[in-house]
Homo-oligomer: A and B are copies of this chain.
Amino acid sequence: MAPRYDIVSQGEELLAGQAVDTNAPWISGELQGLGLRPGRVTVVGDELASIRRVLEESAQRAAVVVCTGGLGPTSDDLTRDAAAAAFGVPLEQSPEALAQIEQRYRTRSRPMPPTNRVQALLPRGAELLENRMGTAPGFVWDTGSCLLFFLPGVPFEMRPMLVEHILPRLRGRFALAPRKTVLLRCVSLAESLAGERMAGFERPGVTVGYRASFPEVQVKLHVEAGLDAAALTEEARERLGSQHVFGVGTGPLASVVGGLLRARGETVATAESCTAGRIAADLTEEAGASDYFRGGIVAYANSAKVEVCGVHAALIEQHGAVSEAVARALAEGVRARLGSDWGLAVTGIAGPGGGTAEKPVGTLHLACAGPSGTEHSCVRLPYDRLRNLSVSVALALDLLRQALLRQT
């Protein structure tokens, strides 16, 4: 069995619910990738006795403990003291740690406040871990049966320390079966359906994890070294339905669509009614989006559809604003107005109000106008307002993605 790790997240704001602990999930992902088994995550506040007790318990139970937080210079930063108490040693000034802290201040051309000297205190016998990004050094304590790592709680300081110092050391210490992780990103596929389709896929050396990041579903394959990860990925893609897998190890859907457009030297413009700018926002999340995104129209009121996007008022009167005819007119209108290769349009009823018997809440018309004509699709979404809007954005982007893939 692989050795177990515990994670200790120290911070009153985490314990009191004023902040969500994002360090533990991230660290857990890294340690699992290495082949270690998770034990427990404990969140503990600013109380010396509590921190000490958690450290003692975790050191008893786990082979590896990663503790974040409580290494700052203020009086509520108690992890150093708690660690020294747990290991039965005094705190001692580390000249090396002090030099690193002083160096950080010199680099920033700022004087070091005297209170920061306390950050150079380490439990006697602990090994220093340099913090390249901040003033709180980390340290390691080895009980013989357990390696305990102490890191600052600020994510952008903590993460490089884990990657640069801790992961290599764990690889050296334990005979771990390294695993390759493959991330398949899916759209228009419910998590439960993904689970059903992947049932029975696990085999010796292969585990499967799921993560719903609504409306996207991510399927993670953990594959031990020596197995054919590429063939397993292909098999998983087939099972999930290759049209649903918009990326393997890629960025989000909008970034995949942007990449397809950029590769073709083509551009898109958006006409959004209910989604009101959310497709445009997604398409511009990455720098350089101006290569493929020209702009769009948020046609919320009917007058905006008519005045700005050139939809005939008669069309809206005849079919209603939420209709195939208006979706097509919006897509073609914005494509013409902005001179783009593609026009992508959405009109729907996100809810909770605005539904009728004929067009209930959740009705969504999508259209994609391109060089060889306009495609349309219509769905009925079952979620609440904000989730209906998220799915609408994903469906629109996926309509464009499918059209781009079909185009040769």
User: Taking beta carbons and an 8 Å cutoff, which residues of A are in contact with B?
Assistant: 12-22, 24-29, 32, 38-45, 50, 54, 57, 209-211, 220, 269-270, 272, 274-281, 283-285, 287-290, 293-301, 303-304, 307-308, 337-339, 350-353, 385-386
- Grouping DSSP codes into helix (H, G, I), strand (E, B) and loop, the A interface class, with mixed when no group exceeds half, is mixed
Q: Cβ of B303 and Cβ of A211 under 8 Å apart?
A: no
Residues from chain B with Cβ under 8 Å of A297 in the complex: 295-298, 308
For this chain, the copies found in one complex come to: 2
29 sample A-B contacts, Cβ–Cβ < 8 Å, listed by A number:
A14-B25, A16-B29, A16-B38, A17-B24, A17-B26, A17-B38, A18-B29, A18-B211, A19-B25, A20-B25, A39-B50, A40-B42, A41-B43, A42-B43, A276-B283, A280-B298, A280-B300, A281-B281, A287-B352, A287-B385, A290-B301, A294-B304, A295-B299, A296-B304, A297-B297, A297-B308, A301-B338, A307-B337, A307-B339
Distance of A316 from chain B, by nearest CB (Å): 14
B17, B220, B269, B272: which contacts A28 (Cβ < 8 A)?
Answer: B17
B contact residues around A386 at 8 Å (CB) = 285
A294: chain B residues at CB < 8 Å are 300-301, 303-304
In the bound complex, residues from chain B placing their C-beta under 8 Å from that of A29 are 16-18
User: Please, how many angstroms separate the alpha-carbon atoms of A276 and B297 in the complex?
Assistant: 10
* Residue of A12, A298, A303, A308 with most partner-chain B CB within 10 A: A298
B301 & A298 in contact (Cβ 8 Å cutoff): no
Closest to A54 in B: B40
